[in-house]
Amino acid sequence: MKMKNILALSLAVLLLASCLVGCGGGGGGKTDVKFNVDSLPIVDEPITLRVLCQEVSATSAAGSAANAGYWKWLSEKTGINFQIEAYSKDELANKLPLIMTNPKQMPDLFIGCNFDETMVIGYGNGGQLLKLNDLIEEYCPNIQYMFDNNPTALGASVIYDGSIYALPAMNSTPAKVTYSMNERFLANSGITETPKTLEALRDAMLIMRDSDANGNGTVGDEILWCAEPSSFKRQALSMVGIKCYWPWEGVIVDDKDDVVYFAPTSDEYKYLLGILHELYAAGCIDNEIFSQDYNSVVAKRDNDQLFMCSWVDDPELGDAWMGTSGWTWPEPLTSAVHDTPIISVGSDYQVAIGAVSKFTKYPEICALVLNFMYSKEASIVSQFGLEGVDYTVKTEDPWVIKSTDPNIVLGYGVTPVLAPRWVTTDVLQPKATALGNLIESNVQEYGTMGWQNYVHLTTAQAERLAELATDLGRHCDDYWAGFIKGTYSLETDWDAYVAACKQMKCDEIVSIYQAAYNTFFGK
């Protein structure tokens, strides 16, 4: 009996001890290794930093981020060995939550790990990500400069309590919603001027519908307005002044003079639906426009059937093809209800691209590495590669010729570009065709950010929005297609549609976004 008691007591003590051994945390202490703040290399004696990042693309010749020239170059510059763990987006989505549960598995740096706002707040407050405010102030003048010149980037990086746990990447060319027109179709139909307004577009399409616009001897085989569902909606909305980049379906809000409104019940939206219905009924809009994918659009484009579509910005087609085929990139259309041309663009930054682990042994060195990644020099290498190896600069003009490697997708950097946009476009013009530059100049002049997806919502706001948005979004999408196809009538069904939106609390959604808008833009 005594033996049994001693054994039981020993086992209990052992169990308790093993529990205590598992406890303990810490991390985020000061670096022991000597480092250089104002010069390169950052460290004189090599250290190894583990980096977790997302693979660029399995089919890209940029290939595995682990082998990319960028990290090798960065290593040579900083004197630091980078041990890269790169996973596809899919793998990262599964592995990241597991890695974040175990300090032993956590890397020193997170680059492009698809943290969203909820994750940043969760991991930041949960003690997995290092708070960067003090480090930025002391060691990161490049990052400080970026924030000073991009208040929206700072707004997107700071969470509700003022802490910065993750840094953004600036897009050198923000995503955009544009469309191109085939002037040859206009000429063949006797139309001398490229439409500049939605109404002129309608009139031109009605003429082209009854002409042999593509000049193949057959009337009526043309598809005048062709797109996949997302592009079609965003193109059309921009013509009446509704900024809609992402999301393009469901609940869409916009602002007029800083006052947020519910776009699907607005007068501009109704006006647009009227014109689109007229065009659809006349056979000017592709009847697959609500269901097809880009492959189908490209096939029709290559069949010379299209007057207006979005898939023509293909540098491989070349300037010569553009000239003979007749495609051009017009200024964005205006309309009777909106007289300022706009191109809806995505945000000029991606949130939460760079972050530091709370458990790193080298917090200051990590901050210095991030600061260098935000420098002009590192941003150019990140975006374009090494001069002479991946690209050469023509001396006659500023155009850059990219290496002709079919596996490298233009404009898609080896790692997310961490530099402000003005840094890269100041120095290099990466477009291979005059068309590409025309698109870029249009975007720079008319680009207007669709802010909906970028404002911060509190947890309560996000939950309430999720409750309300599903049914309301489905209702709006259903009626968008229905009004255009003629299933519903604008004369008889519009009021019922608006009443249903109000019943589904579209006004509450507007008030949620108004609060977020005011906070985001500092109103």
| Binding region for another protein (CB under 8 A) | 55, 57-60, 64, 66, 85, 88-91, 94-95, 97-98, 101-102, 104-105, 171, 173, 175-178, 228, 230, 246, 294-295, 298-299, 311, 313-317, 346, 406-412, 430-431, 436
Q: Are 311 and 297 in contact (CB under 8 A)?
A: yes
By C-beta, is 229 or 506 nearer to another protein?
229
CA distance 52 to 106: 8
Residue 51 Cβ vs another protein, minimum distance, rounded to whole Å: 12
Residue 418 Cβ vs another protein, minimum distance, rounded to whole Å: 16
* Strand pairing category for 349-356 and 109-111: antiparallel
By C-beta, is 451 or 497 nearer to another protein?
451
Return the axis-axis angle of helices 229-239 and 267-281, rounded to nearest 10°: 120
**137-143: Cβ within 8 A, 24+ apart:** 138/367, 139/37, 139/364, 139/367, 139/368, 139/371, 140/367, 140/368, 140/370, 140/371, 140/374, 141/371, 142/371, 142/372, 142/374, 142/375, 143/167, 143/370, 143/371, 143/374
Residue 224 Cβ vs another protein, minimum distance, rounded to whole Å: 21
By C-beta, is 319 or 467 nearer to another protein?
319
Residue 98 Cβ vs another protein, minimum distance, rounded to whole Å: 4
Residue 397 Cβ vs another protein, minimum distance, rounded to whole Å: 19
By C-beta, is 124 or 346 nearer to another protein?
346
Residue 362 Cβ vs another protein, minimum distance, rounded to whole Å: 21
By C-beta, is 40 or 438 nearer to another protein?
438
By C-beta, is 234 or 475 nearer to another protein?
234
DSSP line for 78-102: H-EEEEEEEE-HHHHHHHHHHHTT-
CA distance 382 to 414: 6
SS3 411: coil
By C-beta, is 200 or 400 nearer to another protein?
400
CA distance 254 to 514: 10
Residue 85 Cβ vs another protein, minimum distance, rounded to whole Å: 5
Residue 310 Cβ vs another protein, minimum distance, rounded to whole Å: 8
For 383, the token pair is 């975006």
- Give how far the C-alpha of residue 181 lies from the chain's centroid of Cα atoms, to the nearest Å: 25
For 179, the token pair is 């469309």
CA distance 290 to 286: 9
Residue 409 Cβ vs another protein, minimum distance, rounded to whole Å: 5
- Which DSSP category does 256 fall into? E
Type of residue at 362 = Y
By C-beta, is 208 or 244 nearer to another protein?
244
Distances (CA, A) of 388 to 62, 382, 408, 414, 415: 16, 15, 16, 16, 19
By C-beta, is 142 or 344 nearer to another protein?
344
CA distance 254 to 239: 14
